[in-house]
Amino acid sequence: MIPVTKPYLPDREKLDKYIDGIYEREWLTNNGPLVQELTKRLEEYLGVENLMLVSNGTLALQIAYRALGVSTTNRDEKPEAITTPFTFVATASSLKWEGVEPVFADIDSDTWCLDPKNIEKAITPQTKAIVPVHVFGNACEVEAIDEIAKKHDLKVIYDAAHAFGVNYKGESLLQHGDAAILSFHATKLFHTIEGGAIVFKRKEDLETAKRMMSFGITGLDNTIEELGINAKMNEFQAAMGLANLEDIEAIIMTRRQIKELYNRELAGSCILQKECPYITGNGAYVPIVLDNEKELLNLEVSLKSIDIYPRRYFSPSLDSLKIITNSSTQKYSNYIASRILCLPIYVSLSQEIINLIINVVKRRE
């Protein structure tokens, strides 16, 4: 079977050297030495400061909302955040879970990221934040979003789950916003099995988040300073991350090459995402858009008949989920969501299989 992705597994000797240290120290969690080392090395590799590792990307979002004062424990308040309906459900459900109402604004029809032109008209007196998504690692219009946020005194939390290692105008894309979150789930190009990270603009927000991530407990005397949760990354997760980080340049280079091949061969055969011209991409996903949903379903059947399993990221458009929102329908998000298919991409995917997939996509015509 050829799945849409496969977790990258590092050489066992690389991983075992880190695991041996865990057994020697018998320190499994609570900010262990491997978590500390991975934090430092990720800051160096990504070119960022104020990075905090957490146990998964959804908790990264939730802690970012609380640390930045977007969510509240006051039941009388009904804060809102403007976000995109074209994303994985966690972007919006994490807001809802934190008592923040997701207000959807439509995406750009070409880049598939939140369109700044649609943000301002969605702002109300209850709006506390903008939560854009760097969809498939493609950069949002960060300057325009920043200008809107400053004008209306709003926080910006980027869901950058797909944007590991992406640079924008020569610097890390993660430097934009009051915070940017990463997912290190096993399906991501860099993973810690499960896991995630938050990159804060300000050190004081990082320090607030650190108190929150461990039940609100600080100091050796176990003082409880504020409401917290358990979001700590453990040492075995960090071991996987450190081993994978040793191979990350080769991982990203290979994925870029695969994506470039797909895009080159499929240009003109289907709609491709328009990539921001100022980014260095990471080859995270290979999305294509078909002319209509029937064509998509037929292609999906053709691929599955030869044991190739693409995936419909992201379908349905989240504005259609009544458990999330009663917002009005967003035209372009629904258009793309009903026609999009992500093709297989992972480091060990063979040239033969890539060519086979390309040929099946082309033959549908």
Per-residue confidence (pLDDT) for residue 43, from 0 to 100: 98
Angle at 248 between CA 14 and CA 4, to 5 degrees: 105
pTM, 2 dp? 0.96
Confidence at 180, pLDDT banded by 50, 70, 90: very high
Domains of the chain: 12-245 (3.40.640.10), 248-363 (3.90.1150.10)
pLDDT tens across 164-173, in order?
999 999 999 9
Sheet of 279-280, strands arranged across: 171-172, 167-168, 279-280
CA dihedral sign of residues 249, 254, 260, 262:
negative
Q: How far apart are CA 113 and CA 275, in angstroms?
A: 10
If we measure between CA atoms, which residue out of 99, 171, 110, 103 comes closest to residue 135? 110
The yes-or-no answer on residue 188 being catalytic is yes
125-155: per-residue pLDDT in tens? 999 999 999 999 999 999 999 999 999 999 9
User: Of 69-83, 183-197, 257-271, where does mean pLDDT reach its minimum?
Assistant: 69-83
pLDDT band per the 50, 70, 90 thresholds, residue 72 = confident
Catalytic residue among 40, 121, 150, 188: 188
Encoding tokens for residue 119?
Answer: 């943000």
pLDDT reported for residue 328: 82
Tokens of 25: 């120290």
| Cα of 222 vs its chain's centroid, Å | 33
Indicate if the pLDDT at residue 112 is higher than 90: yes
CA 340 – CA 314 distance, rounded (Å): 7
Say how far apart CA 343 and CA 273 lie, in whole Å: 13
- Answer yes or no: are the C-beta atoms of 68 and 35 closer than 8 Å: no
pLDDT in tens, 7-28: 999 999 999 999 999 999 999 9
Write the CB contacts of 160 (distance below 8 Å, at least 6 apart in sequence).
Answer: 133, 134, 166, 173, 174, 180, 181, 182, 199
Q: What is the pLDDT of residue 339?
A: 98
Q: Is the pLDDT of residue 282 over 90?
A: yes
- Closest residue by Cα to residue 137 from 285, 326, 301, 308: 285
